């Protein structure tokens, strides 16, 4: 009798846990904060911190991997300064005026819509790791010697590590980021930065 009661309780508990797992939809929402800087070079400095909203949709789950897409509206607060004045060449029109202008420290705002594809590998229990690649249109509000003001693109390649706690997923994500305007503006040298971000998602 006691054995049947114990088995019944175990079955009920297992069923409840499975039901709770299946109760989550394919959608997750959350936010993240990150910061970074340029790779060391003699031409310029660029530091940034950024905030993202995150909407994740799980496309497919197999025995080994999970596949998802992410939509990440982002605002990026950057600080940029030209270090190498010879980056602005004498054959440029008004090069002395441009050098004086670009050598000043500037605040740069970027407004981005990142669209990414994610492959996740569960490791054990609540832990998982993933690869993420994203690209998105953006608008920058400040002209520099490396980037024209206006429309551009942001490309991100990242690895991430997560831990699940009930319906919440805590995330740490090192990444590499490249920004350029694909030749749509007069200045298109772009920026390359290394970043790290911290986030939380809630499964709906």
CA 88-187-100 angle, 5° bins:
35
Each residue of 94-137: pLDDT tens digit?
Answer: 888 888 889 999 999 999 999 999 999 999 889 999 999 999 99
101 φ, ψ (degrees, to nearest 5): -70, -45
Fold of 27-203: Porin (2.40.160)
Local structure of residue 39 (DSSP, 8 states): P
Per-domain residue ranges of the chain:
27-203
Report pTM.
0.83
More confident residue, 8 or 86: 86
Cα gap 145→18, rounded to integer Å: 57
Name, in order, each residue with C-beta under 8 angstroms of 72's C-beta and a sequence gap of 6 or more: 52, 53, 54, 55, 112, 113, 114, 115, 116, 134, 136
Q: Per residue in 71-85, pLDDT tens?
A: 999 999 999 999 998
Q: How crowded is residue 18: how many other Cβ atoms within 10 Å of its Cβ?
A: 10
pLDDT of 8 reads: 56
End-to-end C-alpha distance for the chain, whole angstroms: 40
What pLDDT digit, counting tens, does each position of 145-169 carry? 899 899 999 999 999 999 999 999 9
The yes-or-no verdict on residue 143 having pLDDT over 50 is yes
């Amino acid at each position: 009798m006691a054995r049947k009661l114990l088995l019944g309780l175990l079955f009920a508990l297992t069923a409840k846990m499975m039901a709770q797992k299946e109760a989550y939809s394919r959608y997750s929402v959350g936010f993240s904060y990150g910061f970074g800087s340029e790779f060391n070079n003699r031409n310029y400095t660029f530091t940034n911190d950024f905030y993202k909203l995150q909407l994740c949709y799980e496309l497919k789950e197999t025995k080994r991997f999970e596949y998802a897409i992410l939509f990440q509206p982002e605002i990026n607060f950057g600080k940029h300064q030209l270090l190498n004045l010879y980056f602005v060449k004498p054959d440029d029109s008004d090069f002395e005026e441009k050098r004086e202008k670009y050598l000043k420290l500037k605040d740069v705002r970027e407004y981005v819509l990142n669209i990414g594809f994610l492959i996740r590998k569960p490791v054990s229990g609540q832990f998982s790791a993933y690869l993420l690649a994203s690209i998105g249109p953006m608008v920058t509000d400040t002209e520099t010697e490396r980037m024209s003001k206006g429309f551009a693109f942001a490309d991100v390649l990242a690895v991430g590590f997560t831990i699940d706690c009930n319906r919440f997923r805590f995330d740490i994500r090192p990444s590499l980021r490249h920004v350029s305007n694909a030749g749509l503006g007069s200045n298109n040298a772009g920026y390359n930065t290394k970043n790290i971000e911290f986030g939380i998602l809630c499964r709906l």
